[in-house]
C-alpha cells in the first residue's frame, strides 16, 4: 500500500527533471521522460489495486499518513492517502489515461520549436496535483490537489501564451476556479467548526452528529468548488475557453481527469451529501440543466474542440445528475467510461487538427475520412460510445444514469426525461461534428494558420506517427469494452468493486442502485434508439442535405444566435461581475485613495500653513528678539508677583 507514494513520486520526479535539469537535455527527451514517469506510476497503481483487493471487503479503506503537514493548536491536517476502491479506481484512470495522452503528446508536440520542456513538465505536475486531489485523506489536502490542478490547468491553457485568447482563457479558468476554492475553503472551515477535524475518517464517522442545516451549508459550499472545477452551470464559462490549450491538454485535463474532480468530490463526501437532501436535489437539477444546456450549445458550435468541450460539460452534468439522485456508483461508472471515450474523441480531433495544420474550425474541414483513416475510426467509436449505442461503453453508463433519474427515490420523471432527451441531442451534435469533419468535400486549405504544427509531406496532410496511433487504438478498445464491467442483470463487477466505498461509515447505507429488470431495458433500448435517431438526423442534415442545415439555421436565426453565443452568459457575467469589480477598483484607486491621501497631506498642509503664519514673528532683527525676551520676562515676573503672594 505504501507503494502508492511512488505514484506521486514518479511524475514529480519527471517534473523536477524536466523543470530543473531539462535545459541540457535534447528536445525529444522531455516527452519521453514525462511519459516514462507516467508509465511507472501506472504500473505502481496496479500493484496498489492488487494490494487493496487482497484485503477483505470491509477493510478496503486505508488511511496512510506520510507526515504531519499542518499541525496547529487544536487543528491538524496530515499529508496522507485515503485508499479505498474509489480513490484507487481514479488513480488508475488518471495514471492510465494520463500515460496514453502523454504518449500521444510526444507526437503531437514534436514539431514545436519551443516550450516542449515546459509543456511536459507542467503535464507531469498536473498529474501530481491530480493524484494529491484523489488520494488526499483530508479536506485541506484535497484543496492542495484542487488548487494544484487549477494551477497546472492555468499553465497549460496558457501554453501558447503569446496568443491573447490563450492568455485570457488561462486567467479566466484560474479565477473562476479560485471562486470555487473560496466556496470550498468556507465549507472546510465549517466542517472544522462542526466536527473539530478535517480528515475524512473523523468527519465521515461523525457525519450524523450535526444539524441538517449545517450539513446542508457545508455540502452547498463544497458544491461551489465542485461546480467550478467541473464546469457546471453557473460556473461553466471557463471550460470552453480553456480549449485554447494544446489538444492533449484538453483531452487530459479538460475532459478525462481534472473536470471530473467535482464528481469525485461529491461521491467522496457522500456521507455528508446523503444527509443533505436539499443539496442533492440542487445537484440533480443543476446537473440535468447543465447536461441539456451544454448539449444545446454544442449543437451549433463551429470549433471542433468547443463542441467537445460543451459535450464534456454536458456529460459531467449527467454525472452530477447521477450523484444528485443518489446513484453514486453510476456517476463514477460514467466518469470511467467518459474518461475513455472523451479522451478518445479529443485525441482523434487532435490528429485531425494536427493533420490539417492547426485548423480547428469545422467549417474548414471535411472529407478527411480517407485522409486520416485512424482518426475517422477513432472519432466514430468515440461518437458511438457517447451517443449510447450498444455495446459501446457509453450505453451502459449513461443508461444507468437515466434509469436512476427515473426510478431513484430522489429522481423523478422530469429529470429522467431531460436525461433521455439530452442523450438524443448528444448523439446529434457529436455526429454533426463527425460528419462535418470527415465527410463531403474538403474545405480546408493547407498553408495558413499553421501555428501549432508546420505541415509537411505527401498530400500536405500530417499523418500521425506510432506514438499517436497507439493511444488511439488503446482508447478505442477501452471505449468499446470499458462499459462491460457493469451490465445490468449480467455483470456486477463494477458495483461489487465499489461497494466497500459505500459501506464505510457503517452507520449508513447509501442506496446502491442495482439496475436491471424490464424497466431498465425498456429505458435503455429507448435511449439507444433515440441516439440512433440523433445520428440519423445528423447524417441527413450534414451529409445528405447540407443545404437544409443552413436553411434551418437561417430560419431560426434568433435561436441559432443565442445558442452560438452560449446564451450570452459570458456577456451577462461581464456586465454584472467583471465590470463592476473593475469600476470599484478604479473608483477606489482614483477617488477614495486620493481622498485619503488628501486627508493625510491636508494635515501636513495645515501644519505648514500655521507655521508660515507664525514665522512672521521671526524678523531676524536682534532687537526684536531682545524686546520679546524683555516682554516675556516682565510677564513672568508679573505672574510671579501677582500669583505667588
Site for other proteins in 597-616 (CB under 8 A): 597, 599-601, 604, 614-616
| Minimal distance, residue 501 CB to other proteins, in Å | 25
The residue range among 183-191, 325-333, 356-364, 520-528 that interacts with other proteins, by the rule CB under 8 A, is 183-191
User: Which lies closer to other proteins via its Cβ, residue 161 or residue 540?
Assistant: 161
Instruction: Indicate whether 584 belongs to the interface with other proteins (CB under 8 A).
Output: yes
Q: Is 534 exposed, middle or buried (0-12, 13-18, 19+ CB in 10 A)?
A: buried
User: Which lies closer to other proteins via its Cβ, residue 170 or residue 275?
Assistant: 170
| Minimal distance, residue 610 CB to other proteins, in Å | 12
Instruction: Indicate whether 618 belongs to the interface with other proteins (CB under 8 A).
Output: yes
User: Which lies closer to other proteins via its Cβ, residue 507 or residue 640?
Assistant: 640
- Looking at the DSSP bridge assignments, the partners of residue 67 are 79
The residue range among 178-186, 248-256, 364-372, 518-526 that interacts with other proteins, by the rule CB under 8 A, is 178-186
The rounded distance, in Å, linking the Cα atoms of 6 and 112 is 31
CA 527 centroid distance within chain: 28
Q: CB–CB of 123/249 below 8 Å?
A: yes
The rounded distance, in Å, linking the Cα atoms of 330 and 495 is 9
Interface with other proteins in residues 188-217 (CB under 8 A): 188-190, 192-193
The residue range among 357-365, 383-391, 455-463, 623-631 that interacts with other proteins, by the rule CB under 8 A, is 623-631
Interface with other proteins in residues 329-388 (CB under 8 A): none
Instruction: Indicate whether 113 belongs to the interface with other proteins (CB under 8 A).
Output: no
The rounded distance, in Å, linking the Cα atoms of 170 and 241 is 8
| Minimal distance, residue 27 CB to other proteins, in Å | 14
The rounded distance, in Å, linking the Cα atoms of 598 and 128 is 51
**Polymer length in residues for the chain:** 645
| Sole binder of other proteins in the list 1, 36, 43, 186 (CB under 8 A) | 186
Count residues contacting other proteins (CB under 8 A)?
Answer: 75
Q: CB–CB of 357/450 below 8 Å?
A: yes
In the chain, DSSP finds a helix count (H) and a strand count (E) of 27, 2
> At CA 450, angle to CA 446 and CA 453, rounded to 5?
110
| Sole binder of other proteins in the list 32, 36, 92, 182 (CB under 8 A) | 182
Instruction: Indicate whether 581 belongs to the interface with other proteins (CB under 8 A).
Output: yes
The rounded distance, in Å, linking the Cα atoms of 262 and 279 is 14
The rounded distance, in Å, linking the Cα atoms of 26 and 38 is 19
φ/ψ (deg, to 5) at 83 = -105, 120
| Sole binder of other proteins in the list 167, 470, 553, 569 (CB under 8 A) | 167
User: Which lies closer to other proteins via its Cβ, residue 621 or residue 642?
Assistant: 621
| Sole binder of other proteins in the list 391, 517, 590, 632 (CB under 8 A) | 590
Interface with other proteins in residues 62-81 (CB under 8 A): 67-75
The rounded distance, in Å, linking the Cα atoms of 488 and 396 is 8
User: Which lies closer to other proteins via its Cβ, residue 164 or residue 459?
Assistant: 164
| Minimal distance, residue 78 CB to other proteins, in Å | 10
φ/ψ (deg, to 5) at 618 = -80, 95
| Minimal distance, residue 144 CB to other proteins, in Å | 4
- Looking at the DSSP bridge assignments, the partners of residue 81 are 64, 136
| Sole binder of other proteins in the list 174, 318, 333, 502 (CB under 8 A) | 174
Q: Are strands 62-72 and 75-83 parallel, antiparallel or unpaired?
A: antiparallel
| Sole binder of other proteins in the list 620, 643, 644, 645 (CB under 8 A) | 620
Instruction: Indicate whether 573 belongs to the interface with other proteins (CB under 8 A).
Output: no
Q: How many CB atoms lie within 10 A of CB 222?
A: 28
| Minimal distance, residue 615 CB to other proteins, in Å | 3
User: Which lies closer to other proteins via its Cβ, residue 554 or residue 620?
Assistant: 620
| Minimal distance, residue 298 CB to other proteins, in Å | 29
| Minimal distance, residue 167 CB to other proteins, in Å | 4
The rounded distance, in Å, linking the Cα atoms of 572 and 578 is 9
Instruction: Indicate whether 185 belongs to the interface with other proteins (CB under 8 A).
Output: yes
Q: Where are the alpha helices (DSSP H) in 20-114?
A: 27-53, 85-108
| Sole binder of other proteins in the list 623, 641, 644, 645 (CB under 8 A) | 623
Interface with other proteins in residues 10-29 (CB under 8 A): 19
**SS3 sequence, 203-231?**
HHHCCCCCCHHHHHHHHHHHHHHHHHHCC
Interface with other proteins in residues 137-166 (CB under 8 A): 140, 143-148, 150-151, 155, 158, 161-162, 164, 166
Instruction: Indicate whether 389 belongs to the interface with other proteins (CB under 8 A).
Output: no
* Nearest Cα residue to 263 out of 222, 298, 294, 300: 222
User: Which lies closer to other proteins via its Cβ, residue 149 or residue 272?
Assistant: 149
Q: Could you give the count of Cα atoms lying within 13 Å of 47 in the half-sphere of its Cβ?
A: 13
- Looking at the DSSP bridge assignments, the partners of residue 136 are 81
Helix-helix angle 277-298:413-438, to 10 degrees:
30
* Nearest Cα residue to 324 out of 289, 283, 272: 283
User: Which lies closer to other proteins via its Cβ, residue 451 or residue 601?
Assistant: 601
User: Which lies closer to other proteins via its Cβ, residue 107 or residue 150?
Assistant: 150
| Sole binder of other proteins in the list 514, 619, 632, 640 (CB under 8 A) | 619
The residue range among 61-69, 260-268, 353-361, 378-386 that interacts with other proteins, by the rule CB under 8 A, is 61-69
> Which helix or strand (DSSP H or E) is residue 72 part of?
strand 62-72
The residue range among 186-194, 298-306, 384-392, 405-413 that interacts with other proteins, by the rule CB under 8 A, is 186-194
| Sole binder of other proteins in the list 622, 641, 644, 645 (CB under 8 A) | 622
User: Which lies closer to other proteins via its Cβ, residue 262 or residue 294?
Assistant: 262
> At CA 411, angle to CA 400 and CA 187, rounded to 5?
100
User: Which lies closer to other proteins via its Cβ, residue 155 or residue 474?
Assistant: 155
* Nearest Cα residue to 32 out of 156, 120, 141: 120
Amino acid at each position: 500500500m505504501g507503494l502508492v507514494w511512488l505514484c506521486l513520486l514518479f511524475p514529480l520526479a519527471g517534473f523536477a527533471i524536466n523543470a530543473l535539469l531539462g535545459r541540457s537535455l535534447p528536445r525529444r527527451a522531455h516527452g519521453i521522460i514525462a511519459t516514462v514517469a507516467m508509465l511507472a506510476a501506472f504500473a505502481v497503481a496496479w500493484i496498489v489495486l492488487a494490494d487493496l483487493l487482497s484485503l477483505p471487503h470491509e477493510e478496503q479503506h486505508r488511511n496512510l499518513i506520510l507526515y504531519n503537514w499542518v499541525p496547529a493548536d487544536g487543528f491538524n491536517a496530515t499529508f496522507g492517502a485515503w485508499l479505498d476502491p474509489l480513490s484507487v479506481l481514479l488513480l488508475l484512470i488518471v495514471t492510465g489515461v494520463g500515460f496514453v495522452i502523454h504518449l500521444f503528446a510526444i507526437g503531437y508536440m514534436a514539431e514545436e520549436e519551443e516550450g516542449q520542456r515546459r509543456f511536459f513538465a507542467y503535464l507531469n505536475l498536473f498529474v501530481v496535483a491530480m493524484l494529491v486531489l484523489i488520494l488526499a485523506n483530508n479536506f485541506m489536502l484535497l484543496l492542495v490537489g484542487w488548487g494544484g490542478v487549477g494551477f497546472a490547468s492555468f499553465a497549460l491553457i496558457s501554453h501558447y501564451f503569446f496568443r491573447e485568447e490563450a492568455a485570457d482563457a488561462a486567467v479566466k479558468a484560474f479565477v473562476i476556479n479560485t471562486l470555487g476554492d473560496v466556496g470550498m475553503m468556507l465549507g472546510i472551515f465549517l466542517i472544522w467548526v462542526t466536527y473539530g477535524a478535517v480528515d475524512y475518517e473523523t468527519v465521515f464517522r461523525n457525519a450524523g452528529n450535526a444539524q441538517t442545516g449545517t450539513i446542508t451549508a457545508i455540502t452547498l459550499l463544497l458544491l461551489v468548488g465542485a461546480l467550478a472545477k467541473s464546469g457546471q452551470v453557473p460556473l461553466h464559462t471557463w471550460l470552453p475557453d480553456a480549449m485554447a490549450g494544446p489538444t492533449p491538454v484538453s483531452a487530459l485535463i479538460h475532459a478525462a481527469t481534472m473536470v471530473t474532480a467535482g464528481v469525485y468530490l461529491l461521491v467522496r463526501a457522500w456521507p455528508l451529501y446523503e444527509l443533505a437532501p436539499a443539496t442533492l436535489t440542487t445537484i440533480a437539477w443543476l446537473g440535468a440543466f447543465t447536461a441539456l444546456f451544454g448539449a444545446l450549445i454544442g449543437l451549433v458550435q463551429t470549433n471542433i474542440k468547443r463542441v467537445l468541450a460543451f459535450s464534456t460539460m454536458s456529460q459531467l452534468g449527467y454525472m452530477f445528475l447521477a450523484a444528485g439522485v443518489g446513484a453514486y456508483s453510476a456517476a463514477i461508472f460514467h466518469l470511467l467510461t467518459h474518461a475513455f471515450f472523451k479522451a478518445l474523441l479529443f485525441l482523434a480531433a487532435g490528429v485531425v487538427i494536427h493533420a490539417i495544420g492547426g485548423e480547428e474550425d469545422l467549417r474548414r474541414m471535411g472529407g478527411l475520412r480517407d485522409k486520416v483513416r485512424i482518426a475517422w475510426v477513432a472519432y466514430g467509436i468515440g461518437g458511438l460510445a457517447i451517443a449510447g449505442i450498444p455495446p459501446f461503453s457509453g450505453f451502459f453508463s449513461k443508461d444507468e444514469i437515466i434509469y436512476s433519474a427515473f426510478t431513484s427515490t430522489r429522481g423523478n420523471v422530469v429529470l429522467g426525461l431531460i436525461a433521455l432527451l439530452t442523450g438524443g441531442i448528444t448523439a446529434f451534435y457529436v455526429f454533426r461534428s463527425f460528419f462535418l469533419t470527415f465527410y463531403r468535400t474538403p474545405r480546408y486549405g493547407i498553408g495558413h494558420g499553421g501555428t501549432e504544427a508546420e505541415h509537411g509531406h505527401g498530400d500536405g496532410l500530417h499523418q500521425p506517427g506510432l506514438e499517436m496511433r497507439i493511444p488511439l487504438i488503446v482508447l478505442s478498445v477501452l471505449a468499446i469494452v470499458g462499459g462491460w464491467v457493469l451490465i445490468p442483470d449480467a455483470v456486477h463487477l463494477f458495483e461489487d468493486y465499489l461497494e466497500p466505498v459505500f459501506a464505510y461509515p457503517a452507520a449508513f447505507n447509501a442506496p446502491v442502485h442495482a439496475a436491471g429488470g424490464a424497466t431498465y431495458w425498456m429505458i435503455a433500448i429507448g435511449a439507444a434508439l433515440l441516439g440512433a435517431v440523433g445520428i440519423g438526423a445528423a447524417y441527413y442534415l450534414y451529409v445528405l442535405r447540407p443545404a437544409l442545415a443552413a436553411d434551418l439555421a437561417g430560419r431560426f436565426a434568433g435561436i441559432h444566435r443565442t445558442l452560438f453565443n452560449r446564451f450570452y452568459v459570458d456577456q451577462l457575467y461581464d456586465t454584472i461581475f467583471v465590470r463592476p469589480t473593475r469600476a470599484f477598483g478604479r473608483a477606489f484607486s482614483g477617488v477614495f485613495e486620493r481622498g485619503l491621501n488628501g486627508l493625510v497631506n491636508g494635515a501636513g498642509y495645515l501644519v505648514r500653513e500655521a507655521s508660515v503664519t507664525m514665522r512672521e514673528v521671526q524678523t531676524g532683527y536682534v532687537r526684536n528678539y531682545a524686546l520679546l525676551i524683555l516682554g516675556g520676562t516682565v510677564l513672568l515676573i508679573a505672574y510671579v508677583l501677582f500669583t505667588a503672594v
